[in-house]
Each structure stands twice: as structure tokens, then as C-alpha cells.
Amino acid sequence: MGRFLLELFKMKHYLKLLSFLYLIGAILHLLDLLDLRLIFSEMGMIWKVWIVFLLVGDTFVSVSLWRQKLYGEIAFLTIGFSQLIAYTVFRSYFGNQTELIIFHMVTISVYALLKFEWGKRILRSLKWNHF
């Protein structure tokens, strides 16, 4: 089991996991667009634009991360940070989105740990010598 966890947390595997998670997000936004989850037809214009932005963004992130493209990583950070900003700075408009804030903080933090040298040093200090 420990070996599996070490393999999971290699960057290429993490990007595949993120790709799958963002595919789920895109599917949820598609359901919103079709009035099968949230009622898109009754939303205000800002919410509609936000849902479409996330549908397109999550789809792009999912496909490009699956293909292991650098622009997918940039798109992942763009979509992640845009949601963090929207759900914290504009909380009065978007409501309580605590779960999404935590999700994006965790996924971006793990990405940074795996991507950057200081993150690799931290993981090595935890005896995860496979990085």
C-alpha cells in the first residue's frame, strides 16, 4: 500500500488524478447548463457566465492535464485561483463555498509540493525518497 501511495504522488499520476477530478467538475457544470442539477435557466447573467466559464475551463484543464501538457498546468492554476478569488472575495455573491475553497487550496498546495524543488525537499525530509 505504501508503494502505491508513493507512485500516486508522482507528478504525472497527480496530473491524471486532477484531470479526472476536473472532468467531474465539467460534467457537473454541463448538468447545470441542462437544468439537471442547478436551474441554469433561472440564474442571473453573472452566474450563467460563471457556469459556462467553469464548464469550458474544467473541460480544457481535464483534457490538457490528461495529455500532460504544460498549458494544462497553467490552466489548472488559472481555474483554481479564479475560483478561490471568486469564492472568498465575492462570497456575498456566490455564497458559502467552503468545500470548493478547501478543494482548490489542497489541490494547488499538493501541486506546488510536487512541482517545485522546495516541495520535493519537504517530501524527502518526510522520507519519501522517490522524488
Mean pLDDT for 82-89 is: 98
* Full-model pTM: 0.84
- CB 34, CB 69: distance < 8 Å: no
The C-alpha atoms of residue 51 and residue 45 are separated, in whole angstroms, by 10
Q: What is the pLDDT of residue 130?
A: 56
**What are the residue ranges spanned by the domains of the chain?**
12-125
Nearest alpha-carbon partner for 60 in 42, 85, 78, 43: 78
43 — pLDDT class (breaks 50, 70, 90): very high
pLDDT tens-digit series, residues 15-37: 999 999 999 999 999 999 999 99
